Amino acid sequence: MNELKVIGREHIGRIEFTGIEGGFGKDKKAMLVKDIAQIHSRPVKKINELINNNRKRFEDGLDILDLKQVVKKDLFSEYGFSAAEWGNANNVYLLSERGYSKLLKILEDDKAWEVYDQLVDGYFTMRAEAKVTKPRIDSDKRLEIMSENAQTRRGSLLYRIAMQTQSETAKQALLAKAAESITGEMTIPVLLKKEYSAGEVAKKVHASSGQMVGRIANRLGIKAEQPGQNEYGRWANSKSQHSDKEVPQWMYFDKGVKAIADELKQAKEAV
């Protein structure tokens, strides 16, 4: 194990935490679970509980270290602990970048994604650039690299979660988000199916408007829960006509078009 070294208070945006190097390799940065708990607005006890319940997933020396086993008792204050905090804690966990990524997968909350983008690339990945890169990367280029790395990492994590998800609908939704994170578009096989907007369906089935198509779809109950898809279609994000905001839009597969057409046909025959 490389020697641990406290490098002071670190800041990424509004996030403040204790910067630590070593433990998992020369110049490799690590993060205290105490700081991670504060960032995610979770009690330290809860984060430790999540780790302990999944302890077999965290590999000692690569993902996690227990400072109570490797740090001398009289050095606890260097890591921001009081004597009482150190003495009462069963474990004082330190996570590597890899360990933190595993914890994010367990947390799976909105804060986790926000922190993943800001922290993993802003703290862990950029650890040595200022020391080894000459000339220094200018700030715009640095931000571009951080953004690209964050999107790729987020896409990879979403993909891994999708592969362990039993629900096919949830899996497809996660894969779509993973593809969007990496490529900017939802380029997954499900999109090979033909799909139509409500307006396009209206033209195909001779309905009066896309709104009418939507009302029929709602009455038939063929729309999946958001986000997701089923045999009749899928939810997609579409730019609003009246603003820059994206709004959910139900896209119809061929089976969805047929369901609308059949309903219209039955309505006409009943008249």
Distances (CA, A) of 137 to 21, 148, 175: 22, 15, 33
Q: How far apart are CA 141 and CA 133, in angstroms?
A: 13
Contact residues for 84 (Cβ-Cβ < 8 A; gap 6+): none
Residue ranges per domain, the chain?
1-96, 198-270
Which two tokens mark 256?
Answer: 């969805």
What's at 36, amino acid-wise? I
pLDDT tens for each residue of 88-134 = 888 899 988 888 888 887 876 655 556 656 665 556 655 444 444 44
Q: At what angle do helices 168-183 and 139-163 cross, to 10 degrees?
A: 160
Contact criterion met (CB below 8 Å) for 260 and 211:
no
Contact criterion met (CB below 8 Å) for 119 and 19:
no
What's at 71, amino acid-wise? V
pLDDT tens for each residue of 223-258 = 988 878 888 998 887 665 555 667 788 999 999 999
Task: State the pTM of this model.
Answer: 0.44
